[in-house]
Amino acid sequence: MATIIDGKELARKTRQNLKIDCDNLKAQGIVPKLAVIMVGDNPASKVYVRNKSKACEEVGIEYEEFLLDEKTTQKDLISLIEELNEREDITGILLQSPIPAHLDINEAFRTISPKKDVDGFHPVSVGKLTLGQDTFVSCTPYGVIKMFEEYNIDLEGKNVVIIGRSNIVGKPLIQCCLNKNATVTVCHSRTKDIAEYTKKADIVIVAIGRAKFLKADMVKDGAVVIDVGINRGEDGKLCGDVDFENVSKKSSYITPVPGGVGPMTIAMLMNNVIKAAKM
């Protein structure tokens, strides 16, 4: 039976340590502050934003929210970001996605100052990550790497298979794992016979948004399995991209959903805000 990687507990410890950092910065007259922009009325986004606000409160980071109407124009969105770039009291800027389809999210990410890009989505941040330079790392991949470090899971020389190639999770994870000297294979919706790759993997990271996609017969005994997905199962309960009940019987380490990667994503956002304040 696998060791459960407790993201909730690790996130709690991380926030405790960040609170000490935050208090030290405040003692020097530096007050970390996160600005969150939300466009429209997406119910899931509201939950995520509320969780981010709670985490800020716990760590001691100041928080300001900007709620824009669903019909907001690109010009108004860009104008708000530019205004926040100029504000000296704002340490980090986060644009909550998804945003309405008529808006260009990539232009918005490019407009956020690289110095305030706490989500790690600016091309400068992505480029620095690729070059192995110090930068803001996208929060979910960063959270996954911190889990490996906490549980002493060494990636060097390991065969890592990542299922999913999104700009937010899959692509940054490739680089994070390469930076740890892993051998990385990426599978996606056009990959023929994904199981052929996952069966040989020492570590499988799944981020495709398909409930219980990874089955027990797709992993080898003793594999490490990281589940980044969050879905509603047929029973209405939250579940990940991994068939947890059966895969956990074969794997050495596994993350649960909920309580795995999710809490670490928010903890790493807090980490990036503190990092921005120190800079």
- 134 is annotated as an active-site residue: no
Q: For residue 15, report the phi and psi dihedrals to the nearest 5 degrees.
A: -65, -35
- 89 is annotated as an active-site residue: no
Query: Of the residues 33, 52, 116, 146, which is catalytic?
Result: 52
Whole-number Å distance between alpha carbons of 107 and 112? 9
Query: Of the residues 6, 21, 119, 202, which is catalytic?
Result: 119
Query: Of the residues 6, 21, 33, 96, which is catalytic?
Result: 96
- 146 is annotated as an active-site residue: no
Q: What positions carry a catalytic annotation?
A: 52, 96, 119
